[in-house]
Amino acid sequence: MDPPAWAILTLFGERSPNIRSNPADTIIEKIIGHGNAPIFKAIYALVKKRKIAIMIAVIVVFNMNKFSKKSLESYVLLRQFLPGIMGTYFKSLIIIAVCFHTTAWTNDNDLYILHTNNTNGALENCYCPDHPYGAVEKRSVFIKNFILKYPNTIVLDSGDFFSVTEKPILDSLIIEAYATLPYDAVLAGDQELSRENMKNLFHQLNFPVLASNLENFEQYGLSGHIIIERGKFKIAVVGTIHSDVFRYYPEDIREKYSFLDPKETIRSFVDKYSDSADVVVALTHEGHDKDMVLASDVDGIDVIVGSHSQSKLDSGDVKNNCLIVQAGKEGYYVGVVKLTFDEKNNIVSSSARLVTLTLDMPDDPYIMELISVLEKTTTHVNRNKLKYQNK
């Protein structure tokens, strides 16, 4: 007899067997959002329907070793309840086969960190000949494809994803775009903290926005830190902002917030979590020079993902056994950190690189819809883009 459906779904991340009363939200958010089950992600990416994806996943797991008569019998039973999904079922099997082929060679001892910073409201870029780069519209596709290939991946952003000056329509569209990206956490930068409606905007995100050293951060809808479990690894992430980044802001904004010393905040975090976590990551909004000092002065930080100075660090810097990275500005790049561990989950090697988002990379259709809304609302037309598309 086949195992009960709830047992299979438990393997996919749902701890409660009561799947009838609560169909799929927690399951899908854990699996799709966190990248823990390539099988389910492949199915969900195709069908875009939670219940169908779950049922197909159950059938596939029941029959993973032999797609035979028994598999077809299971399918026939499902077919009685969900007419019209035969093609979807067999297409899913093909995608799953490709997924297995792709992920079979990934190393369980590797963890990847994808990181971005200083997007500055760039859903897309200018398509200028001297800056032929994409932005969020390319980033979305790249990150999602990367996670399919390397499930042991976390995704972080170290702030200033809003534009330099307040633009309410663009701010709301950036939030909509970020809400569709599989970020595990982002840091609030000065450009986010300068917005009066920041709290309302952040409520739309399904991941935490960090500001560990901001006094009373909870009242602004922010979080102090996050502990991420990915594969066999536990990653402790803290995020801090240096008060110096508000130096040129109006007095009312400078006086609105009080910050604790970011260095001491991170030191306390390392002391608390370094023994229980396999990796300690600090998201910082202070600039590369201060990141170098931080790494030198505080032991135990494995990775610093920096921002504010908009530095393009092609392979990162290393100081005091800490890898320091930053990915430029305007969404031109996605940073890729690779950490390799031994069997006791100790880091044995680390590396960093930048992936340039070029104009020939695929666009996310939904982000392109948001860009279209922005163009229609503001009546701004990107003529360089029109020329590029009409080549």
**Range 62-97 burial, b when 16+ CB lie within 10 A, else e:** ebeeeeeeebeebbeebeeeeeebeebbeebbebbe
Average pLDDT, integer, range 249-255: 93
Instruction: Over range 287-312, report the average pLDDT.
Output: 98
Q: Which pairing describes strands 279-285 and 233-241: parallel, antiparallel, or unpaired? A: parallel
Residue spans per domain, the chain = 5-103, 110-356
Q: Identify the DSSP state of 213.
A: T
Residue 55: other Cβ atoms inside 10 A: 21
What is the identity of the amino acid at 70? K
pLDDT in tens, 23-68: 344 444 444 444 444 555 555 555 445 556 556 655 555 554 443 4
Q: Please spell the DSSP secondary structure of 225-291, one letter per residue.
A: EEEEEETTEEEEEEEEE-GGGGTTS-HHHHTT--B--HHHHHHHHHHHHTTT-SEEEEEEES-HHHH
Q: Look at the chain and count its residues.
A: 391
Question: Distance between CA atoms of 318 and 231, rounded to whole angstroms?
Answer: 26
Of the chain, the percentage scoring pLDDT greater than 90 comes to 68
When mean pLDDT is compared across 3-7, 175-179, 212-216, 386-390, the lowest value belongs to 3-7
More confident residue, 106 or 352: 352
Output the six-digit token pair for 207.
């991941």
Dihedral Cα 142, 145, 148, 151, nearest 10 deg: -10
For position 90, what pLDDT does the model report?
52
Among residues 1, 300, 32, which one has the least CA distance to residue 14?
32
Q: Which residues pair with 128 in a beta bridge?
A: 131
Average pLDDT, the chain: 82
Spatial separation of the C-alpha atoms in residues 178 and 193, rounded to whole Å: 17
**Fold adopted by 110-356:** Purple Acid Phosphatase; chain A, domain 2 (3.60.21)
Confidence of residue 209 (pLDDT cuts 50, 70, 90): very high
What number of other Cβ atoms are within 10 A of residue 244's Cβ? Answer: 13
State how far the Cα of 76 lies from the Cα of 83, in Å rounded to an integer: 10
- Give the chain's end-to-end CA distance (angstroms, integer): 60
Return the structure tokens found at 142.
Answer: 């790249």
